[in-house]
Amino acid sequence: MRPLSRVRHQRRMSQDGIGLATESKGLYYAAIAGMKAGSVAESGTRLRGKAAPGNGHGSTTREHTPAPVRHEANGEPAIERPAMTAHYIRSRIGKICVAITGTNPAEMLRNAEDTVRENHFVEFRLDYLANPVAMLPKLKTFLYERGEVTAIATCRRTATGGKFKGTIQAELEVLEKAALAGCHLIDIELQTAEHMKPAQMKRLRSRGAALIISYHDFDSTKDLDKIFERIRPFQPEFIKIVSTAKSLADNVAMMRFLASRRDEAELIGISMGEQGTISRVLGLRAGSVFTFASAQPGEETGAGQIDARTLREAWRIDHIDASTKVYGVVGNPVRHSLSPLMQNMAFRRETVNAVFLPLQTSRLNDLLTLVRDVPLHGLAVTMPFKTEIIKHLEKTDALSEKIGACNTVVRAQDGKLYGFNTDVAAVVRPLERRLPLKGAKILVLGAGGAGRAAVFGLVDKGAEVFILNRDAEKAKKLARQAKAKTIRKDQLAKSNFDVIMNTTPVGMRGVKPTCLLEPKELNARLVFDLVYNPIDTPLIRMAREKGLPVVTGVEMFVHQGARQFEIWTGKPAPEEEMLRVVVHALRQQAAAATAEK
């Protein structure tokens, strides 16, 4: 029989109910309280009748005969404590470690107090402080009084991507004192570990905290196995490797690495950056022990970091397991898309074991790698892929084939990908509620995927459709295919329409603002903007200033999303709840934007 690795042996012990995780928390707190408040080794005195903080079992009585005390070279007593095991740390923590920052000790402490109300696993980024040592007495008291909190101390130097301007020796002194103050783990960079002398490492390891050795690549995702092999000889309790995702496929590389090494060490693996979101959510099931989060939006300590509440409530990270199906919205841009919020709420409401993620890319091959290797079970397709993706599907519905645009992909039980279009109904339905479409004169701005859906759907209902597009040839081609007409911009001021509809991304949050139309060109009975975020786009505001009725993109967005949910799950969509959560989020964003002005 092949001998168990150290990590597998620890996990087997956990399954059999053996080890520290099975011992009373009261016994642990009684022991650790002595370390936090000043251990017997530090004081050389006996403790009698000292209540362990937070154990709920009343007082304990403990006697100890001090052993001879070894002294450091500076004459101070040496303090040696066995490091906490990875097995024990894992018994205390959840899936998310929340990074705590602050410009001064008081602010960092306030932020910590706010955070630990909901998150008991935190990282103190001491390098964010001008004088990290000044924080340590406060940190010692904070941890003594909160036995449920598990804390990492990090004091990363500027040379390795942090904010601490001191030397390696100064960094180690801060971390040693943080361990003595009660931090359960200390994080040092691989570059620091490789410059340490054996005596320095021995001293650091004797302070009682578990050791994380980490490596950050701020440029790429490469050489993950080589970095792992550089860290492993130091035998830390945890190995942390953080790369930067330049593509969606980089997430696949990180997750493959985690899956291949998960039985060899306790791993934390994350890809930073806007395109690394997938690794922050799905890395846990690939083998990462935990992931990092910010305490609040705007307090990120790494590129692409997500706040803890969003991870838990929007992306349901605590419920992701090996059987969780993965869906996503793909396109560029999708960073501000509310599809993840809306669809994850629907999955939760209808008890579907699934997660929905933003997948931002401008390269279809990048997306297809992710679809194949994760694998993905469904996609909401946005610009610029609605037309291009069709040739990579096994089959599409008749509507997608007719208009040459697909916005919904599902992986069927045979493992093949099939395409549908829910845009057409979502465009037509809001207008049919407001006016007869047969014979209506409608101007459609744009000839992309959404524009194609709008033109074909409206022509099919008997409307007279005019197309205005930046690329005139593309507009003419669509007009020929759909039996519509084109119009030049210089004709608009003298033209009147029943409806003017924007199908372009102009006005979307995160897109560089440009002017679609001048007020004199906005001659219509109704204005419909398919952009939903923000609700009040420049076009919608212009229409309201002219006293024109409007239809915002929220109505279409929720309707097409509800149909997508039904295609993916086979369940009726909770459309009212989907609308409610989207409108609430948009109002919050609008209020925040107003407050910033």
The CATH architecture one would assign to domain 329-421+580-596 is 3-Layer(aba) Sandwich (3.40)
Lowest mean pLDDT among 110-119, 464-473, 514-523: 514-523
| pLDDT of amino acid 511 | 76
Average pLDDT in the chain = 88
The amino acid at residue 212 is: I
Judge whether residue 11 has pLDDT over 50. no
| pLDDT of amino acid 78 | 57
Mean pLDDT over 265-290 rounds to: 96
Judge whether residue 74 has pLDDT over 70. no
Residue with tokens 């690939």: 286
| pLDDT of amino acid 515 | 83
Domain ranges of the chain: 1-65, 86-322, 329-421+580-596, 424-551
Judge whether residue 43 has pLDDT over 80. no
Q: Residue 17 — left, alpha, or beta (φ > 0 → left; ψ -120 to 50 → alpha)? A: left
Judge whether residue 135 has pLDDT over 50. yes
Mean pLDDT over 409-420 rounds to: 96
| pLDDT of amino acid 79 | 61
| pLDDT of amino acid 67 | 40
For the stretch 145-155, pLDDT in tens is: 999 999 999 99
pLDDT band at 37 (very low <50, low <70, confident <90, very high): very low
CATH no., domain 86-322: 3.20.20.70
Among candidates 160, 171, 280, 168, which has minimal Cα distance to 216? 160
Lowest mean pLDDT among 76-80, 114-118, 359-363: 76-80
The angle subtended at Cα 280 by Cα 276 and Cα 286, nearest 5°, is: 110
The two domains 329-421+580-596 and 424-551 share their CATH topology (first three levels equal): yes
Residue environment code for 146-180, b if the CB has 16+ CB neighbours within 10 A, otherwise e: bbebbbbbbbbbeebbbbbeeebeebbbbbbbbbb
The CA-atom distances, in angstroms, between 327 and each of 340, 569, 570 are 9, 11, 15
For the stretch 541-581, pLDDT in tens is: 999 999 999 999 999 999 999 999 999 999 999 999 999 99
| pLDDT of amino acid 510 | 76
Task: Reduce the DSSP state of residue 430 to 3 states and report it.
Answer: helix
| pLDDT of amino acid 303 | 95
| pLDDT of amino acid 162 | 97
pTM of the predicted model as reported, rounded to 2 decimal places: 0.80
Among candidates 545, 506, 511, 561, which has minimal Cα distance to 529? 506
pLDDT band at 61 (very low <50, low <70, confident <90, very high): very low
What is the DSSP pairing of strand 497-502 with strand 524-529?
A: parallel
The angle subtended at Cα 254 by Cα 249 and Cα 260, nearest 5°, is: 125
By the 10 Å C-beta count (0-12 exposed, 13-18 middle, 19+ buried), 67 is classed as exposed
Q: Could you tell me which residue, 585 or 49, shows the higher pLDDT?
A: 585
| pLDDT of amino acid 49 | 32
pLDDT band at 314 (very low <50, low <70, confident <90, very high): confident
Mean pLDDT over 494-517 rounds to: 90
Q: Kindly list the catalytic residues.
A: 386
Judge whether residue 20 has pLDDT over 50. no
The CA-atom distances, in angstroms, between 115 and each of 110, 142, 308, 315, 457 are 9, 13, 10, 19, 50
pLDDT band at 179 (very low <50, low <70, confident <90, very high): very high
The CA-atom distances, in angstroms, between 401 and each of 394, 398, 413, 425 are 12, 5, 22, 15
Judge whether residue 38 has pLDDT over 70. no
Among candidates 101, 126, 104, which has minimal Cα distance to 114? 101
By the 10 Å C-beta count (0-12 exposed, 13-18 middle, 19+ buried), 340 is classed as buried
Percentage with pLDDT > 70 across the chain: 86
Token digits for 522?
A: 């906005």
User: Domain 424-551, CATH 3.40.50.720 — does that match?
Assistant: yes
Other C-beta atoms lying within 10 Å of the C-beta of residue 385: 24
| pLDDT of amino acid 203 | 96
Other C-beta atoms lying within 10 Å of the C-beta of residue 64: 13
d(CA 354, CA 325): 4
pLDDT band at 71 (very low <50, low <70, confident <90, very high): very low
| pLDDT of amino acid 264 | 97
What is the DSSP pairing of strand 150-154 with strand 417-420?
A: unpaired
